[in-house]
Homo-oligomer: A and B are copies of this chain.
Amino acid sequence: MEEIVVGLGERKYPIRIGCECARELGGQVRAALPRCDRLMVVTNPDIARLYAEPVLESLRATGLAVDLFEIPEGESSKCIAVLETIWDRLIRSGFTRQSALVALGGGVVGDVAGFAAATYMRGIDVVQVPTTLLAMVDSSVGGKTAVNHPLAKNIVGAFWQPRLVFMDIAFLRTLPVEEFRSGFAEVIKHGVIRDAEYFRFLEEDLDRIFALDGDTLGRVVRVSCEIKASVVEEDERESGLRAILNCGHTLGHAIEALGGYGEGSRHGEAVAVGMLAEARVAERLGLIDAESVARIQHLLERSGLPVRCPAFPVAEIVDRLKSDKKVRDGRVTFVLPSGIGWVATRNDVPRDLIAEILIEMGANSS
């Protein structure tokens, strides 16, 4: 298995990436958590059906007691009520400060189980075992955990680094293509914000990636994790550089909040449109050339990601920007691509320019 270390001082941890390596999980957890007394795997019924057996078997082979706890599938599980069911089970089953959670699933499972671990007894260990591309290249790395509130996404949470992130690329073979695509929007973003060579590799090897070729996919996961890890290392708590990961997300979140897309693919599709819209804003501000914007659009299109904005009233999208977590002194911060591999942070983007671009892309002008 390949290893990437996320260097965060005393909170540093390894990301281990392999293919068909699920049976090695137990040994790796044992090595990462030598004092662990007990484990609880948190997952959802769909993932449990596919992977609970090998995962539990591998973990139990270490001699540790391992419980399984299922939360309902879907984004609606990212809520306080579900969090309370996890705390409740941990208390009733007598989990201690030496116990650990294993989050087996996509972003929802990782976020909820991660936040449960961050807060049970003021913090116990967590191992992230992402099963979706989005979770592998984005949410499982970096320690962001959270649940939603009816009024705002990810508004209650904690920065809580895992002790180990364990990725079996083979899990992606059972992932619905629209979910794979959603995760791929973040992969494209990594190229856009940080690595022109990686972007070119994605352009050149796109077919092999979508054919789930093991080596090519392994490289995607590895390079994206390296980019994510390097950003997190420099700015664990999102006080500066880490904001570059929000490229495409400022407008993307606003579009997502209005509910433009179906469950599952929603986030990536919103990020794709947001990233293209932000690239066009950057072009109008003279930050990026037209050819680079066209390359971004073309790669999104070839990946089956949307490049048109849903026909929401443009005023509603723009108003939504105000509730962004990155708002400061009433100004919205945008992370705009300033060339493939580079970004510029701007908080002076005129509201009218944003509206104009969104209307060009399909938003409703009335």
Q: Which residues of A contact B (CB under 8 A)?
A: 37, 80, 84, 87-88, 91-92, 94, 96-98, 118-123, 144-146, 149, 151-152, 154-159, 237-238, 323, 325-329
Contacts and interface: CB of A to CB of B under 8 A. Distances in A.
Count identical subunits in the complex.
Answer: 2
A323 B97 CA distance: 11
B146 A122 contact: yes
Given A96-B327, A118-B158, A122-B157, A88 B149 contact: yes
A156 B327 contact: no
Contacts of A325: 96-97, 121
A203 B151 CA distance: 55
A96 B332 CA distance: 12
Contacts of A144: 122
Nearest to A325: B121
Contacts of A157: 119, 121-122
Contact of A91 (B92, B118, B151, B329): B151
A155 B84 CA distance: 12
A123 B158 contact: yes
- Which 10 pairs of residues, A with B, have the shortest CB-CB distance? A122-B157, A91-B151, A119-B156, A91-B152, A122-B159, A87-B156, A121-B325, A122-B158, A91-B149, A91-B155
Contacts of A37: 328-329
Contacts of A326: 97
Given A144-B122, A157-B119, A237-B123, A149 B329 contact: no
B80 A328 contact: no
Main secondary structure of the interface of A (DSSP, over half): mixed
A211 to B, nearest CB: 38
A151 B121 contact: no
Contacts of A119: 119, 156-158
A161 to B, nearest CB: 12
B146 A328 contact: no
A144 B144 CA distance: 21
Nearest to A323: B94
B155 A121 contact: yes
Nearest to A328: B98
Contacts of A327: 96
Contacts of A122: 144-146, 154, 157-159, 237-238
Contacts of A80: 80, 84
B96 A328 contact: yes
A98 B325 CA distance: 10
Contacts of A121: 155, 157, 325
A341 B3 CA distance: 48
A246 to B, nearest CB: 13
Contacts of A152: 91
A97 B154 CA distance: 13
Contacts of A146: 122
